[in-house]
A and B are shown apart, each in its own frame.
Chain A
Amino acid sequence: MGEKTKKVIKTIKVDVDKCNGCRACEVVCSAFHATPKYSSNNPGRARIRVLHDPLRDIYVPVYAGEYVAAECMGRDKYVIDGKEYEECAFCRASCPSRDAFKEPDSGLPLKCDMCEGEEEPLCVKWCLADALTYEEREEEIEEQEEIEELEIGLEALAEKFGLDKIMDTVVRMSNKE
């Protein structure tokens, strides 16, 4: 068993009922991540994106999450309170199926970094509607040995092909070099 350790969980609470669609969060995020800092502005580069459809009363700020190489097999649509949200509306991934969370020119993925180096996330600071609030809390977690990515991959392979076959293949590949 691992030991108990403390970890800081950073949470931005999104209250969509309070969002007024101003996109100030996008503005300040893109300015902050410009090089040099604040030298330019372009919501297309923001790491937060406000899904905004006033006629259907849809206001959903979504944060950019991980890059994924492949798109999902299915694309989800949600209906909440009778409002239908567009495909993949709530998903944070920068994925091949859409242009959200990508640099407009290069297509490189964007990811929210919680405004590294700032006291509080700037989108939160600029959201005077309090639709975005920042919380930090400490959680005790059981320390687990970090499993490396390679190990996860190998485990999956071993399950599929058996460990022996993999060992054989590795030997053969290294002989070829």
Chain B
Amino acid sequence: MRYAETGFNLEIDLSRGSIERVETDPRDTELYLGGLGTNTKILWDRVPPEVEPFSPDNLLIFSAGLLCGTPAIGCNRTIVSTISPQTLLMAFSMMGGFWAPELKYAGYDKIIFRGKSPDLVYLWIHNDQVEIRDASHLAGKGAIETAELIKQELQEPRAQVAAIGLAGENRVYFASIEQGRSSASRGGIGAVMGDKGIKAIAVRGTRDINVARPDEYMELCNEVMDYIKWRNEHPIPGVMPILAGLGSPQEMAVHDEKWHTENFMWGNSRLRRKGFWNEEIEKQWTQTLESARKRLISCYNCPMKCGATLTLPGLPTYMMKCFSKLTYTMAAMSDLEFGLRIAQRATEYGVDGYSTPQVMAFAVELYEDGILTDEDMPGFPADNEERFYWLLDKIVRREGIGNVLADGTYWAAKTIGKGAEEYAHNTIKKHEQLPLKLSMLNPIYFLMYSTGEKINITQIEGQFPQAPFPKREQREEFVKDWFQVPDDRFKQYFLDWEPRGEKSIPFYPTPRMCCDIVDWQERMHYIDDALGMCAGLSSFPLKPPYHIHNYPKFISAGAGIDMDEEKLTQATKRYRTLVRAVNIRRGMRRKDEKPPQDHWKKRFPELEKELLDTYYEYKGWNEEGIPTKETLNALDLDYVAEDFIGRGILKDE
């Protein structure tokens, strides 16, 4: 018997309209766990580097995490993996909500799409019954709208639906896949879904998911539950409210936005507005959110309610979570009411809430500076807010300038020319970053930004405080019950970390310590992505309920795989390296691993070089960031080494 996982994938060939149920190899689960791990193995095996994102040979994989569908609290992530049209590298965006557990209950761990459907279709999975159905009547419909229509036509209110909107259908490079309160947004995977002609996937399952050692597993779940309760009552002192608790940042609950509005950048990630926040704005924005918000809502089997249903006068209800609350507001230099209203339309269109506002603000900036003109944008409104609606509509339809902007700032700037490249200043690996510009280089963040292959900082950072606490006593207090650290030396790194002086950024933590810290942060995210755990209960917050010490027990008792910290670390390293291998094979090198030049005002080229050199070495990668043969062989990735040698990427020494 297979535990935690179902042991079956669905293979869908859209060109031929065929559906196969394929048993998977349990040895792959041991080596790569599940979710992101096994997705990566499939992409490595089946998508050679010549394959373009919009080729029928590109795969689009929807995977539930290894522990999704078990009672593990907050374990509900769907990991979607494909080759991104924007970065041309591997994308592995994820979504919470309810979809992944439902897929497991239907009897599958993954759906693997290949080929392209000639007509727009949707997939309907109800346990053993799997159908490719016509979706021509859903063309152009909003993502949320589509989900509702499908549930009605199937007469299955309990089906879970992941759908794309117009942006995905039109292959916008930052199109998302929406699923109720959640979305898989980064990397343009919605565009690949649209390219394959899939409007939606609806799933309903009523089968069992088994765990290997029931009592032990339940005990672990109850411990997590108790700890969440305790943490909810004991927020971490000395950090801002959104970092004090568990879950995704509680943006739908908090009203005090001083920190975001004064520290993050407005417009095209340009303007810092110190002193912006005042009582009047707080009153107005509080009123906006309170009247729009119907309820705070959770993902499957999680008490944290990080999302909300929002209803603005005259608009259909939609759901939101996290920082999308402010991205439109800040890009348009407007207020919260505007931000929430345009986000409703953007959600139905199915676009990423981080990239989209920046792309639009980038266009406005180009227009204001005369690089884009009325000739390029006939009918471009004079009113600022109308401009954003106008741009959004053009982008998702790929009309006129929208067709250029739909490729994201990096590619759009290249097409536009005339110095537009300078304006696409906030990307890493061609992907828009959070609008954040700081003063002093932070060596930990430098490494995360440079080498993170998820290419989105909120899905790379976590666990380790973002800044030192001012006083040693506070730090001592903090480390007292910090049992989540892999080793006590991490406590020391933090204890000695000062806001000023010798032991402060950029030279402290030392490069070696930074490697240690970043490696830990990354490891936790990669574990979450294989197990299907929400980062909000694990890799993101300070002192989370899931950590390197209880994860092996969850995997042992849940999946029946004999696991300890060392084995888990090794497995994680294996598929993390494989992600890198996929990207290396697609041409990614050291030159691509750098944060935006203006991310920090004070840069230290020598230190940065040292940081990257040290980290590469720490990871067992050569000076180009390529995993060495020894590294690969030690991780049972001999087949990667061979491939690299065959292609001349590595020399056979």
**Which of A's residues lie within 8 Å of B, judged by CB?**
20-24, 27-28, 31, 34, 36-45, 53-57, 59, 86, 104, 126-129
Residue ID in chain B nearest A43 by CB atoms: B105
Contact of B105 with A86 in the complex, beta carbons under 8 Å: no
Contact of A54 with B319 in the complex, beta carbons under 8 Å: yes
Contact of B303 with A57 in the complex, beta carbons under 8 Å: no
B499 in contact (CB, < 8 A): no
Contact of B209 with A38 in the complex, beta carbons under 8 Å: no
Residue ID in chain B nearest A59 by CB atoms: B295
Shortest C-beta distance, A9 to chain B (Å), equals: 28
- Enumerate chain A residues within 8 angstroms of B296, measured Cβ to Cβ: 20
Which of A37, A56, A126 is in CB contact (< 8 Å) with B225?
A126
Contact of B298 with A20 in the complex, beta carbons under 8 Å: yes
Q: How far is the CA of A158 from the CA of B16 in the complex (A)?
A: 68
What would be 17 A-B contacts, judged by CB atoms less than 8 Å apart? A20-B298, A22-B300, A23-B301, A24-B73, A27-B301, A36-B214, A38-B71, A39-B214, A42-B105, A54-B297, A54-B309, A55-B317, A59-B295, A104-B206, A126-B225, A128-B232, A129-B305
Q: How far is the CA of A127 from the CA of B211 in the complex (A)?
A: 22
- Enumerate chain A residues within 8 angstroms of B144, measured Cβ to Cβ: 55
Q: How many residue pairs, one in A and one in B, have C-beta atoms under 8 Å apart?
A: 97
**Which of B's residues lie within 8 Å of A, judged by CB?**
69-71, 73, 98, 105, 144, 148, 157, 180-181, 205-211, 214-215, 217-218, 225, 228-229, 232, 294-303, 305, 309, 316-317, 319
Q: How far is the CA of A16 from the CA of B210 in the complex (A)?
A: 31
Shortest C-beta distance, B343 to chain A (Å), equals: 15
Which of A20, A42, A55, A86 is in CB contact (< 8 Å) with B305?
A20
Q: How far is the CA of A57 from the CA of B148 in the complex (A)?
A: 14
- Enumerate chain A residues within 8 angstroms of B303, measured Cβ to Cβ: 20, 22, 24, 127-129
Contact of B295 with A20 in the complex, beta carbons under 8 Å: yes
- Enumerate chain B residues within 8 angstroms of A43, measured Cβ to Cβ: 105
Contact of A24 with B301 in the complex, beta carbons under 8 Å: yes
- Enumerate chain A residues within 8 angstroms of B69, measured Cβ to Cβ: 41
Shortest C-beta distance, B296 to chain A (Å), equals: 6
Shortest C-beta distance, B206 to chain A (Å), equals: 3
Knowing that A20-B305, A44-B205 are A-B contacts, what are 17 other residue pairs whose CB atoms are under 8 Å apart, sorted by A's residue number?
A22-B305, A24-B73, A24-B302, A24-B303, A31-B71, A37-B215, A38-B211, A38-B214, A38-B215, A41-B210, A42-B207, A43-B105, A54-B181, A54-B309, A57-B295, A128-B303, A129-B305
Q: How far is the CA of A97 from the CA of B319 in the complex (A)?
A: 32
Contact of B157 with A53 in the complex, beta carbons under 8 Å: yes
Which of B71, B105, B180 is in CB contact (< 8 Å) with A54?
B180
Which of B157, B218, B299, B317 is in CB contact (< 8 Å) with A38?
B218
Shortest C-beta distance, B534 to chain A (Å), equals: 12
Check A22/B295 contact, CB under 8 A, given A27-B71, A53-B157: no
- Enumerate chain A residues within 8 angstroms of B295, measured Cβ to Cβ: 20, 54, 57, 59
Shortest C-beta distance, A26 to chain B (Å), equals: 9
- Enumerate chain A residues within 8 angstroms of B71, measured Cβ to Cβ: 27-28, 31, 38, 41
Q: How far is the CA of A54 from the CA of B316 in the complex (A)?
A: 12
Q: How far is the CA of A55 from the CA of B180 in the complex (A)?
A: 9
Shortest C-beta distance, B107 to chain A (Å), equals: 11
Q: How far is the CA of A34 from the CA of B309 in the complex (A)?
A: 34
Contact of B217 with A38 in the complex, beta carbons under 8 Å: yes
- Enumerate chain A residues within 8 angstroms of B309, measured Cβ to Cβ: 54-55, 57
Shortest C-beta distance, A30 to chain B (Å), equals: 8
Q: How far is the CA of A127 from the CA of B349 in the complex (A)?
A: 34
Contact of B211 with A39 in the complex, beta carbons under 8 Å: yes
Contact of A86 with B157 in the complex, beta carbons under 8 Å: yes
Residue ID in chain B nearest A28 by CB atoms: B71
Contact of B225 with A128 in the complex, beta carbons under 8 Å: yes
Contact of A22 with B302 in the complex, beta carbons under 8 Å: yes
Q: How far is the CA of A21 from the CA of B300 in the complex (A)?
A: 8
- Enumerate chain A residues within 8 angstroms of B180, measured Cβ to Cβ: 54
Residue ID in chain B nearest A127 by CB atoms: B303
Shortest C-beta distance, B310 to chain A (Å), equals: 11
Residue ID in chain B nearest A36 by CB atoms: B214
Shortest C-beta distance, B220 to chain A (Å), equals: 11
Check A23/B300 contact, CB under 8 A, given A40-B211, A59-B295, A104-B206: yes
Contact of B207 with A104 in the complex, beta carbons under 8 Å: yes
Residue ID in chain A nearest B218 by CB atoms: A38
- Enumerate chain B residues within 8 angstroms of A42, measured Cβ to Cβ: 105, 206-209
- Enumerate chain B residues within 8 angstroms of A54, measured Cβ to Cβ: 180-181, 295, 297, 309, 317, 319
Q: How far is the CA of A39 from the CA of B70 in the complex (A)?
A: 10
Q: How far is the CA of A27 from the CA of B222 in the complex (A)?
A: 13
Which of B181, B218, B305, B316 is in CB contact (< 8 Å) with A31?
B218
Shortest C-beta distance, B226 to chain A (Å), equals: 10
Shortest C-beta distance, B308 to chain A (Å), equals: 10
Q: How far is the CA of A39 from the CA of B73 in the complex (A)?
A: 16
Q: How far is the CA of A78 from the CA of B634 in the complex (A)?
A: 64
Q: How far is the CA of A41 from the CA of B148 in the complex (A)?
A: 27
Q: How far is the CA of A22 from the CA of B74 in the complex (A)?
A: 9
- Enumerate chain B residues within 8 angstroms of A38, measured Cβ to Cβ: 71, 211, 214-215, 217-218
Check A20/B297 contact, CB under 8 A, given A86-B157, A128-B225, A128-B229: yes
Residue ID in chain A nearest B302 by CB atoms: A22
- Enumerate chain A residues within 8 angstroms of B302, measured Cβ to Cβ: 22, 24
Q: How far is the CA of A38 from the CA of B144 in the complex (A)?
A: 35
Shortest C-beta distance, A14 to chain B (Å), equals: 15
Q: How far is the CA of A28 from the CA of B225 in the complex (A)?
A: 12
Which of A45, A55, A126 is in CB contact (< 8 Å) with B148?
A55
Shortest C-beta distance, B145 to chain A (Å), equals: 10
Residue ID in chain A nearest B296 by CB atoms: A20
- Would you list the 4 A-B pairs with minimal beta carbon distance, nearest first? A44-B206, A128-B303, A104-B206, A38-B214
Contact of A40 with B209 in the complex, beta carbons under 8 Å: yes
Q: How far is the CA of A56 from the CA of B302 in the complex (A)?
A: 21
Shortest C-beta distance, A149 to chain B (Å), equals: 33
Q: How far is the CA of A129 from the CA of B211 in the complex (A)?
A: 26
- Enumerate chain B residues within 8 angstroms of A55, measured Cβ to Cβ: 144, 148, 309, 316-317
Check A128/B228 contact, CB under 8 A, given A41-B69, A55-B148: yes
- Enumerate chain B residues within 8 angstroms of A56, measured Cβ to Cβ: 317
Contact of B298 with A21 in the complex, beta carbons under 8 Å: yes
Shortest C-beta distance, B214 to chain A (Å), equals: 4
Residue ID in chain A nearest B316 by CB atoms: A55
Check A22/B299 contact, CB under 8 A, given A54-B309, A86-B157: yes
- Enumerate chain B residues within 8 angstroms of A31, measured Cβ to Cβ: 71, 214, 218
Shortest C-beta distance, B554 to chain A (Å), equals: 14
- Enumerate chain A residues within 8 angstroms of B294, measured Cβ to Cβ: 57
- Enumerate chain B residues within 8 angstroms of A21, measured Cβ to Cβ: 297-298
Which of A24, A41, A127 is in CB contact (< 8 Å) with B70?
A41
Q: How far is the CA of A128 from the CA of B98 in the complex (A)?
A: 18
Shortest C-beta distance, B148 to chain A (Å), equals: 7
Shortest C-beta distance, A24 to chain B (Å), equals: 5
Shortest C-beta distance, B540 to chain A (Å), equals: 19
- Enumerate chain B residues within 8 angstroms of A28, measured Cβ to Cβ: 71
Residue ID in chain B nearest A125 by CB atoms: B225
Residue ID in chain A nearest B311 by CB atoms: A57
- Enumerate chain B residues within 8 angstroms of A22, measured Cβ to Cβ: 298-303, 305
Contact of A41 with B218 in the complex, beta carbons under 8 Å: no
Contact of B157 with A41 in the complex, beta carbons under 8 Å: no
- Enumerate chain B residues within 8 angstroms of A128, measured Cβ to Cβ: 225, 228-229, 232, 303
Contact of A44 with B299 in the complex, beta carbons under 8 Å: no
Residue ID in chain B nearest A129 by CB atoms: B303
